[in-house]
Amino acid sequence: MYYTWKNIKALYANNTLRYENSHQQIRDVTLPDGSYSIEDINHSLHMKMKAYGDGDTSITLYPNKVYNRVSIYINNGFKLTLGKGLAKMLAFSVLIIDRTCHGDLVPSMDGGGGITV
């Protein structure tokens, strides 16, 4: 489903995450304001990981249709830290993720911005 509003915005405080690579280097990622699907968030993260020289296979976010949740795949000693707003949107109660896991609830991809009619 596509949104006509920006579901990720600095104003909503849901546009930040960071990861730690296998060398314990911490990398900050800020998503530009925009309309994102889970796949788009994953793609943006992978682009940043490649730019840092960390490859793009150690962390993957994807919509898990079996569980109706967001799943995060992690390997190679990487860790992912979700900002509070992004964690809430993706329905994760845990902010620091160091192993493969699933969100707690169905994600709310509207970003908290609501709909203006």
**DSSP string over 59-106:** EEEEEETTTTEEEEEE-TT-EEEE-HHHHHHHT-S-SEE-S-EE-SS-
Per-residue confidence (pLDDT) for residue 60, from 0 to 100: 98
pLDDT above 80: residue 4: no
Per-residue confidence (pLDDT) for residue 54, from 0 to 100: 97
> 97 near 83, Cβ under 8 Å?
no
Per-residue confidence (pLDDT) for residue 110, from 0 to 100: 84
Provide the mean pLDDT of the chain: 92
> 71 near 101, Cβ under 8 Å?
yes
Burial of 89 (0-12, 13-18, 19+ CB in 10 A): buried
* More confident: 1 or 115: 1
Query: Please, which pLDDT band fits residue 5 given cuts at 50, 70 and 90?
Result: confident
Structural domain boundaries of the chain? Answer: 10-102
Residue bearing tokens 């860790």: 79
Beta strand 101-102 pairing with 79-82 = unpaired
pLDDT above 60: residue 3: no
Determine the Cα–Cα distance for residues 116 and 8; give it in Å rounded to an integer.
16
pTM of the model: 0.91
Per-residue confidence (pLDDT) for residue 111, from 0 to 100: 72
Per-residue confidence (pLDDT) for residue 52, from 0 to 100: 97
Determine the Cα–Cα distance for residues 109 and 88; give it in Å rounded to an integer.
10
> 115 near 77, Cβ under 8 Å?
no
